C-alpha cells in the first residue's frame, strides 16, 4: 500500500532492509527534475554515516543507448524517452546484484559531459548490501520496464507538480548552455511528456515523497 512520507520515513525503511540478511534493492523513481537522484544521494550519505560501505547507488542513466544506436533508431532527439534505454541490460545487472554468488559486480556509468555510457566503469563491492537504484522509469507499468518489478524490495516515488518540474528543468538546461529554443524543445517534446507518462503510468510505490 502506498504511504506518503518524508526523508526520515525513507531512511527508516532503508535501515529496516539493512537489518535483514542478504542484499536488497530500493527503487527510487520520479519524473525528470523531480529530485530522485538527489534523494538517492542524500539517502546514501545518511546510510554511510551509520553503516559505512553497506550501500551504493545504481543510476538507471548508465543504461542509455549510445547516440550512434539512437541515430539508427531515429530517436536521438528524444534521448531519455522510455525506449532509449537498455532495459534488459539493467534487469540482468539487478539479477546479478541480487545473487550472493556473484560477489563484486561491474556496472556502467553515464558521463553527462560526454553524453555517453561507459561500460564497467564502476564496481559494486560484495560488501554493499543495499542497492539504491534510481531512475525515471523504474516503476513504469509497461513492458519491458514492468519486468523489473521483482527486482525491488522497496519502491519510492518522488512526486513533484509539473510547474515545479518545468522550473527545475529549465534551470538545468540553462546550466548546460542550451538556447531558449532548444530548452523549449527539450521540455515540451521530451522531458514533460515523459514526466506525465511516468506520473500516470507508474505502479503505486510503497512510499511517496513530496517536493
Q: Count up the domains in the chain and report the number.
A: 1
Residue 211 has a pLDDT of 66
Grid coordinates representing 24 are 536488497
Residue 179 has a pLDDT of 96
The domain in which residue 90 lies consists of 3-210
Overall average pLDDT of the 9-20 stretch:
97
Residue 113 has a pLDDT of 81
Examine the pLDDT at 37 and tell me if it is beyond 80: yes
Q: What is the pLDDT of residues 145-173, one digit of tens each?
A: 999 999 999 999 999 999 999 999 999 99
Overall average pLDDT of the 77-91 stretch:
97
Residue 112 has a pLDDT of 82
Provide the CATH number for the domain around residue 111: 3.40.50.300
Amino acid at each position: 500500500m502506498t504511504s506518503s512520507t518524508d526523508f526520515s520515513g525513507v531512511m527508516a525503511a532503508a535501515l529496516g532492509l539493512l537489518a535483514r540478511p542478504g542484499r536488497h534493492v530500493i527503487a527510487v523513481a520520479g519524473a525528470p527534475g523531480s529530485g530522485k537522484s538527489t534523494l538517492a544521494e542524500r539517502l546514501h550519505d545518511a546510510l554511510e554515516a551509520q553503516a559505512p560501505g553497506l550501500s551504493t547507488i545504481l543510476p538507471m542513466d548508465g543504461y542509455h543507448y549510445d547516440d550512434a544506436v539512437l541515430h539508427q533508431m531515429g530517436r536521438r532527439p528524444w534521448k531519455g524517452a522510455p525506449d532509449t534505454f537498455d532495459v534488459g541490460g539493467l534487469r540482468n545487472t539487478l539479477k546479478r546484484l541480487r545473487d550472493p554468488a556473484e560477489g563484486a559486480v561491474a556496472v556502467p556509468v553515464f558521463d553527462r559531459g560526454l553524453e555517453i555510457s561507459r561500460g564497467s566503469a564502476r564496481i559494486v563491492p560484495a560488501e554493499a548490501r543495499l542497492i539504491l537504484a534510481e531512475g525515471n522509469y523504474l516503476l513504469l507499468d509497461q513492458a519491458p520496464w514492468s519486468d523489473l518489478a521483482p527486482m525491488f524490495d522497496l519502491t519510492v516515488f518522488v512526486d513533484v507538480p509539473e510547474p515545479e518540474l518545468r522550473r527545475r528543468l529549465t534551470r538545468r538546461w540553462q546550466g548546460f548552455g542550451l538556447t531558449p529554443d532548444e530548452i523549449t524543445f527539450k521540455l515540451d517534446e521530451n522531458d514533460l511528456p515523459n514526466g506525465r507518462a511516468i506520473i500516470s503510468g507508474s505502479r503505486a510505490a510503497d512510499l511517496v515523497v513530496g517536493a
